[in-house]
Structure 1
């Protein structure tokens, strides 16, 4: 029996020494003889290594002298060595009592070079590829890098970019890796079509999504890049759009892009199912918690019976109810909406059920992916912290806040079990994006006031300064008769609270027909949110104003009537002069606008009071207010109406008189169809308009898409009617005319353009009510924002 065992051992040893081979597929094969028993060796010899230490190789082999091993152990050793990425070939064999491990080391990458790339810089590509200088070369990794580079070009809209790779042998087992890139032309989106939509036109839905058709300006906007991830975001945007307009059964059946290689363009199609349109039916609150009554909560309801169903209103109600219930001392209460569809009368009754939820606490908040943004910038957007009761509604709101910061390309909040059954870990995964901006723009305004003529502006801004969530902006601008310099800084969470604090420093110079002005000053401001839609801002303002004669009107520093028309006596009283204004101001801001860039629904109102007299020369109190309401008139064709009302009054106090520069002056925001400072009280001798102490204005406007023009260009038409009055004066002296309350009115048409340089607008207005001495200006071109 003993002899038989010795014989088997000898056969096993002979088989191993005669035929253990590693194939390129990573499989160990024993030639001719199957090993019946494990083998033993006395030592392990490593051959072929030059850079990798032999002991390192032995550790990966993990076969120990004097211990039994078999083919499975050899196979595992080979796989471990290959997995290190340090070797291009591995062979293991046995020679007598020695296990021989022969390796061919991977070449070392000396340089990674890119050729032919212009649209993506070398540094950006280097960060994306896996092969790096001083690392091990791998042909498989190089091929993977080729695909990575192609994907990088696809993300900037160049799907037909081609990439090839090769190595240059430098000797001594060193290589250069060269990626040659043919960038090709920009891949366009030829068309975006919708199937299954009847309530809203294709053009209206194309305006909802982020992906846009290619047009003449796409090379600037870059919004015509096809991306499957963007399509998923577009699907969600479509769902929100329909859900907020009564279509609770809406769904996106499919979205896809078809690539045409010959034309290097995509055709994108969305297939949707709209379903019925619902209104809210009965709205009720069902509480199972003793002591919690409907009367305590009904004021929090944002959903109203008879209104069209809106998922956004349901969400607002959930947040309001959850906060109110928590304030009443029920930290673990859960608010759940339950909808009941009535298909016959097309209503959805909503019952908000309030139950005592399971006691669960937030053990910790774990943040991942923020290499630049500091943890506390993310944590402060949560209305709960470690140790607080778990509340899904508050977590959803924190997610929206993080997304609104615009610091991240994606935000995802998930949960994980804590150390105890009643503990929950919040996991916040973010993907950061660039928050710096460098912008250069220009334009032309037809106004004859301080903003008239050609203007250019350049600015450098950072929304997430040093990863602290602070914003800083430096802007320089000007035109033929103006210069502007501004430095602004904002800390959104002052002293760790949701109070914004910041300052602005500015210097503005203007050259008018007969005089010049220089304004140098600064503002310290604080902002405080009161509710989700109402906020307040207080500020201290210090400003020095210097006024002088226009140099073209002077001869030896004396005003020359032969060069300029006579200047008003009310202007000559303060020119030349230096004036210091020290004031405090407070504002209430109400904002429910759906989009500040392209508003279609909601209200924006601003009421401001400013008191000057805390030192300085000025002593007055000023009130201004403006409110604008947007309302869809025909949502299916994107017809939008707006109504705007505004007014202001300034009143002196103390011993100081109002100057001509303290009065309100008309502009295109007050009424179109008239020149800057073209209405109101005027000097009876020179005819110069002097401004007024009081004004009121109103606007009614209808905006619509332009037929036969792609909405992706951003052009929209408008018809409008303006009315305004500017009256009253506190100037000392006689000869003032036109200071009574007289209304002016105008009607006109406009064209707005959401350009890559900012919102622009051109208007043509015709006065239909005017007074003697008014100055008419039919065309006006400038910034379109009218908030």
Structure 2
């Protein structure tokens, strides 16, 4: 009975409490209105500012949901380390702990990556609010930077140093760890090219002792992604239209000190070009006028780079005809039975989209206008993807940035607008070089130079260099403004002093002091015009000869000349061409004041062919003529052949000579030509070592001295053959040539061995 009685009482109590809870009015549950809000703990932030973030205000009915939203809103501002809201009667108390202000950011333990680069990577800055979230984000960015340089063992520990007035010093303690090298790179599925050849295509390299000056043998996942694209380009350029990279797997070695990278590829079949046609849906566009731009020939190996180049040329050509909105898509039709690729270039009207704006981020030192002037598009222009690609390439060609990403995204305000986003990462553009070396022409030498290619972030180029050699000493100051008057005019000046010792060649020394003003501009994408005005003082002295032709030149002369050069260049590279040609013509007139009067003309041309993989034939030729205007040409202005221009002969070795002393006195015209084949000699491509075989020909015309009966001179053709090697060493270019004259005159000076070494460190 006692048990039943107590059970009944307990059930009754539960029912009563439930009824009271259900029957209580809502206002009583919420607790009535908030008469006041008390803000506590603020130091820098105004009380009204805090209240503006809250979802509940004085006079509102207390609502737990609105209080919760106010709590989240205050946390989301990033201004507070802690937020607590409680109710005391009809008052709402908000207790805050403000995040401190960062006084200074420092890095400790970093040796491989400088503070400047780390500062550009982190988002937090001095005098900004410290938050844990932003610090953790910056830690990840720093770790990613180290991983891109191959240091996966790096750790970063952020530390706070408390200061007065709620300020802190933020210190990132960095342990860089050991680099994580790539131990082996393997390929699966390759049949046409062996692994050694494919490894040369990749930017990532296997660890070797001789790569101590490079980071390419450290593992970088971004670089591996780029290598996949390099492989794709390599195969598509050589006709493998079905090529694809199935996977690129990086496996950490058991000791966690290196990576094994394996690429699984599918080469597919090799295709040749078939028919290439143009299909246009634009009104009044005559496709016949565009056909010469389609340079691919039936039977040639398919080349995806050539297809892209044709698309670019067609886009430019159609754009010049007034079609602002155009979209050109190459339709590639592969016949797997015949291994033929037919390409149809479909020209259609593109969407009518305009450039709303160009947003540039990441540039700390480089001015916005330096970046904007490289773009072929400006705000308000009709958007053109081909021009965007060209702009991206021009930006990369500046060589000011470690990274230059150019993308476009739709505008949020209008459907017919697009926003171009430019994200760059700057790199050092200053150069300080010291060098020692030796050359057959100058002898032992020492060189020093300081250069800034992006002066004050304006894109200007300033260089000061000096050289001391056995037979040449010089000082040169050079400045170039690539966009003079905000136009595509490259203007600049040079100031120079050159002391030459020509005793071996002509038994005299010369000193040249002067300077020049120059300007150049592009007439088309491939044609350039350059102009230069030169004012210099030449002195012939130190004559150690009895030759009347040399003694007669003792003294000083002042040259005031105007020089112009027109260049048409279709080479694939101006430094190491493998295909294409160039033609160059120049004239120089001296006589605008000064004491020297002459007219000089010159011409150069070259054609390059790829005979086989990495085997290049180069055919070059040049000629020049100098004519004295009412006077004889001075010995310093005449022409000489030999050395680099005619291997197998000494510098100035082909020239009219004094019969008695053998001194070279120079001619008034010269012509040279060369056929050279460069080829690999079995070493990895990254070594930069190439072999070469060559044949050079040349001739020098007669001199214009008085009483030339005492001069040995002949305009006959000279020729030589030889072989050699060149090496792009980490310390500078090195070349060795052995030349053997086949046709020469008895008074010519020969030089079988030619060696040049330019060391920079």
The 3-state SS of whatever aligns with 2:641 is coil
In 1, the alpha carbon distance for the partners of 2:339 and 2:557 equals 66
Matching residue of 1:613: 591
Matching residue of 2:609: 631
Q: Does 1:656 align with 2:635?
A: no
Alpha-carbon distance, 1:191 to partner: 4.0
Report 1:77-226 matches (<5 A).
77-106=70-99, 111-129=104-122, 137-139=130-132, 141-168=134-161, 176-216=169-209, 218-226=211-219
Q: Does 1:570 align with 2:549?
A: yes
* Per-residue CA distance 1:544-592 (angstroms, 9 max, x = gap): 212211xxxxxxxxx7xxxx6x3532221112x1112222222232323
In 2, the alpha carbon distance for the partners of 1:345 and 1:244 equals 19
Question: Of the candidates 651, 655, 658, which is equivalent to residue 676 of structure 1?
Answer: 651
Change (3 A) 1:268 1:475: farther
Q: Is the 8 A contact 2:643 2:649 kept in 1?
A: yes
In 2, the alpha carbon distance for the partners of 1:111 and 1:333 equals 52
Q: Does 1:750 align with 2:743?
A: no
Q: Is the 8 A contact 1:167 1:175 kept in 2?
A: yes
* Per-residue CA distance 1:511-556 (angstroms, 9 max, x = gap): 333432221223333323233323232322322212211xxxxxxx
Bigger mean CA offset, 263-272 vs 242-251:
263-272
Question: Of the candidates 481, 497, 501, which is equivalent to residue 507 of structure 1?
Answer: 497
* Per-residue CA distance 1:483-503 (angstroms, 9 max, x = gap): 322233333344554343333
Change (3 A) 1:275 1:629: farther
In 1, the alpha carbon distance for the partners of 2:723 and 2:55 equals 83
Alpha-carbon distance, 1:684 to partner: 1.0
In 2, the alpha carbon distance for the partners of 1:361 and 1:166 equals 50
Report 1:253-652 matches (<5 A).
253-260=246-253, 262=255, 264-357=257-350, 360=352, 362=354, 364-369=356-361, 370=363, 372-408=365-401, 409-417=403-411, 423-434=416-427, 436-447=429-440, 449=441, 451-462=442-453, 464-513=454-503, 514-549=507-542, 566-575=545-554, 577-635=555-613, 638=614, 640-652=615-627
Q: Does 1:775 align with 2:754?
A: no
TM-score (norm. length: structure 1): 0.84
Q: Is the 8 A contact 1:746 1:765 kept in 2?
A: yes
In 2, the alpha carbon distance for the partners of 1:651 and 1:137 equals 72
Q: Is the 8 A contact 1:402 1:411 kept in 2?
A: no
Q: Is the 8 A contact 2:355 2:420 kept in 1?
A: no
Alpha-carbon distance, 1:176 to partner: 4.6
Number of residue-to-residue matches in the alignment: 737
* Per-residue CA distance 1:707-766 (angstroms, 9 max, x = gap): 3x4332322222333333334222223454542133333333322222334433222333
Matching residue of 1:719: 693
In 2, the alpha carbon distance for the partners of 1:654 and 1:108 equals 76
Change (3 A) 1:339 1:590: same
Report 1:679-758 matches (<5 A).
679-707=654-682, 709-758=683-732
In 1, the alpha carbon distance for the partners of 2:166 and 2:638 equals 81
Change (3 A) 1:438 1:390: closer
In 1, the alpha carbon distance for the partners of 2:697 and 2:661 equals 26
In 1, the alpha carbon distance for the partners of 2:92 and 2:161 equals 35
In 1, the alpha carbon distance for the partners of 2:432 and 2:602 equals 31
Change (3 A) 1:374 1:118: closer
The unaligned stretches of length 5 or more in structure 2 are: 1-17
Change (3 A) 1:407 1:628: same
In 1, the alpha carbon distance for the partners of 2:378 and 2:43 equals 55
In 2, the alpha carbon distance for the partners of 1:172 and 1:526 equals 58
Alpha-carbon distance, 1:656 to partner: 0.9
Bigger mean CA offset, 476-485 vs 212-221:
212-221
In 2, the alpha carbon distance for the partners of 1:386 and 1:135 equals 33
Report 1:211-250 matches (<5 A).
211-216=204-209, 218-250=211-243
* Per-residue CA distance 1:606-648 (angstroms, 9 max, x = gap): 332323333323333323333333322221xx3x122233232
Change (3 A) 1:526 1:141: closer
Alpha-carbon distance, 1:75 to partner: 2.4
TM-score (norm. length: structure 2): 0.86
Q: Is the 8 A contact 1:193 1:269 kept in 2?
A: yes
The root-mean-square deviation of aligned C-alpha atoms, in Å, is 3.5
